[in-house]
Each structure stands twice: as structure tokens, then as C-alpha cells.
Structure 1
């Protein structure tokens, strides 16, 4: 599923680039500021068991749904090859409790997951310029709404992020971008009213495609 998302995102980015004429383009270089506006699919990889507060199994597992939203990334090139990027956006997710014959909506919550990464760009002067990166992420849950008698609390916290992507120059300062991140984030979710809890490994794939502009 994730490879399909990546293929679709890469195809969209390359199609945008291919539609433009191959004219002069602005390379990446030290001092460049680059703004990427993307459409992003955040796909959590949750499926952890739900237990009682004492740790006894309930036969249920936690499921967290995908969300597709616009995001922005702002990069500053410290050198021609090294950049620092801050990514911002917010997504809405549905938390469900699932088991044999059971599928219950527990909570809807918004997540603000800013991510700061350091990137290495392999070919900053080339029309197709791939990069990799690593950094830190913070998950902030807000504006949540409980359902079906649940009162779930989800802890905020830090995670680690790995990143890979490519910029495809179009013309002048414009480029197309495809970007994939894997975020490693574990949180505690607890419902003291119903006496259940779960240690949830969200570990979302964050797959994006969009357009960039260099300043």
C-alpha cells in the first residue's frame, strides 16, 4: 500500500515537471530558501493490543485511520548540499477499537506534528536532485472528540523521523517535489472511565507530492 502511494506521488511530481519546457532553472546552493507546498497522506501503522489498566488482554486492538491534508515545508541551505527543513501541517484521525465482530469509533482527534530534519542533497545543481534526511518530530493531539462513551487520553511526545525525496526542476525557481518520511513515535493512550489502555506505536508513513519555489 505504501509503495503504491509512493509510486503515485512520484508519478504526479514527474508529470508536472515533464509538462514544462526544459528551460533554465535555479539550482540549489548555500543561502537558498525553498518553500514546498505539498499534498500529504499521513498513514499511521497502529494495531496494538488494548488491555485493562491492570494489563489483562481485552481481545481488542487500536486502529488509527489515515488522513490526507495540505502541508508546507521550509528549507534553508546551509551549504550547497546540506539543508535544514521544518515541516508543518495538521491532520485529523479517527481512533477505533477493533476485534472479533467489534469495530467501535473511540475518538476523533487533530494532530499537529511539526518535524525538523537535516537533509543531504546529492546533486544540488542537477535538474533531478534526490535527498535524504533525518530529524525529530513532535506529536501534539488537540481538538479531540470522544465517541460511544469513551474518554480516551493520548499523550503528546517526541519521535524520530527518516526522510527521502527528490526535487525535479521545472523552470526558474520552480520545482516539483516528492517526499517520503517514516516517523517512529510511541504514545500511551488511557481511558480511566472504562478501565482500558494501550501503548500505541503510531509509526506513520508520511507520503507527499507538491510544488516548490526557491527564494
Structure 2
């Protein structure tokens, strides 16, 4: 938890200063952006070792939804959700387990040129990843496998491409810090540093 404290403090500082920026509000119009698309969770290629064996977590792509509230033309707060991702875990190249996860993420975004047709943005937020329905497969077939839930910082970079006053396309990438203790039969066998890159593409509607 200690490595997260500076990030959490930074996030808290940003969130406490944003209300003061609301004086530049958007006059109550077009403050919401709803995006539907797809996201690919691509875990770190070297998440560590479990039970002395090299671990690998496969990628997963699922439909995603993102809702952003614009406090000002530049500043927004967004919530990311998705259909549960399913990952296969391999140990020394052999299938060992499968797991599902939900990664809701809340972030603060800064849009550099919000009135431009091409508008880049950066964001910083907090992620909570809930692992469930974990099952031993292959070399761990029948074993009880559990991955602990994770809290971590999330960073984001993206670009909005405006089609007109209402519709836009968004391409973005996130890095999320996900660390989870892995247990087999109730015994901890290691800590997986999943830390994925999340690639997203979506269509958005502003209202």
C-alpha cells in the first residue's frame, strides 16, 4: 500500500481543486459524454513467478462503456466499465488456471484543446479490480485457485476525433497497476504483477 500513497495523495489533491474550476462551466449544456466501444486488456509480459514457475496472463477483449462528466471545457471526470474480462493463466507455458475480472476505473482527464476537431487528453485515476470465478485448469485441474482483489493507480492518454457537435470517436490507452496475491488450495504461491496496458476504441455521444 505504501507505494500507492503518493499517487492517492495526488489524486485527492486534484479532486479537491476541480470544484473551484467549475466557474468556467459549460452553461449546463453538453456536459456529458457517453462512449461505447471495446477494450483490450494486455497484461505485462513478465508478471512474475508463481510456485517457482514463470507466469503468463493472456490478453482479453470485451465491450466497454465510459461515462465522462465535463466540469469545464478542459476538465472531466470519467468512469470506465466493461463486460467481465476472462484471462488464461499459464505456468512455464502450460495452462494452469482461468479467471474473470471486472476493472471499474474512475479518473480525472485534462483535454488540451477541447474546441478542436482533434482533441488529445491525459488522465489520472484509481482502479479497483475484482477477480472471481477463478478455476484450476490443465496442470492445476481441480485445484481451488483464488486471486485477491486489487487497488491501484491508473494513467490514461487518448484523442477525441469530433465528427460533429454531438458525435465523436475516441482512441485511448491506459496503464493500470494491478497486483494480486495468488492462492492455490488456500496457500499463497506468489504475487502476480499484471500491470496491463488497456487499449480502447469507442464511439461517443455528447449531451
Same fold (TM over 0.5): yes
Query: 2: CA distance between counterparts of 1:96 and 1:181?
Result: 24
User: C-alpha deviations, 1:62-86, integer Å up to 9, x for none?
Assistant: 1110001110100000111100000
**Hey, what does 2:164 align to over in structure 1?**
171
Q: Is the 8 A contact 1:106 1:152 kept in 2?
A: no
Cα offsets for 1:171-210 (capped at 9, x unmatched): 23000110100001211101136x6601110100000111
Q: What SS does the corresponding residue of 2:61 show, helix, strand or coil? A: strand
Rounded Cα–Cα distance in structure 1 between residues aligned with 2:26 and 2:73: 4
Q: Is the 8 A contact 2:134 2:146 kept in 1?
A: no
SS in 1 for 2:169: strand
Instruction: Count matched residues.
Output: 176
Question: In the alignment, does 2:45 pair up with 1:69?
Answer: no
- Structure 1 consecutive aligned stretches of length 4 or more whose deviation exceeds 6 Å: none
The reply on whether 1:212 has 2:204 as its aligned counterpart is: yes
- CA gap of 1:96–1:125, structure 2 versus 1, over 3 A, is same
- 1:185 is matched with which residue? 178
Gaps of 5+ in 2: 1-24
**Would the aligned equivalents of 1:30 and 1:80 in 2 still touch at CA under 8 Å?**
no
Distance 1:199 1:30 in 2: 48
**Aligned residue in 1 for 2:33:** 34
Residues 30 and 79, structure 1, Cα contact 8 Å, conserved in 2:
no
- In the TM superposition, 1:79-98 aligns within 5 A as 79-89=72-82, 90-98=84-92
Which has the larger displacement, 35-44 or 128-137?
35-44
TM-score (norm 1): 0.77
Which structure would you say has the larger RCO, counting Cα contacts within 8 Å and 6 or more residues apart?
1
Q: 1:30 to 1:105 in 2, by over 3 A?
A: farther
Which structure 2 residues correspond to residues 1-215 of structure 1 after superposition, within 5 A?
29=26, 31=28, 32-45=31-44, 46-51=46-51, 58=52, 60-89=53-82, 90-98=84-92, 103-147=93-137, 148-192=141-185, 197-215=189-207
Superposed CA RMSD in Å reads 1.7
Q: TM-score normalized by structure 2?
A: 0.80
- Which ranges of structure 1 fall in alignment gaps of 5 or more residues? 1-27, 52-57
Structure 2 CA distance for partners of 1:176 and 1:30, relative to 1, 3 Å = farther
Q: CA shift at 1:144, angstroms?
A: 2.8
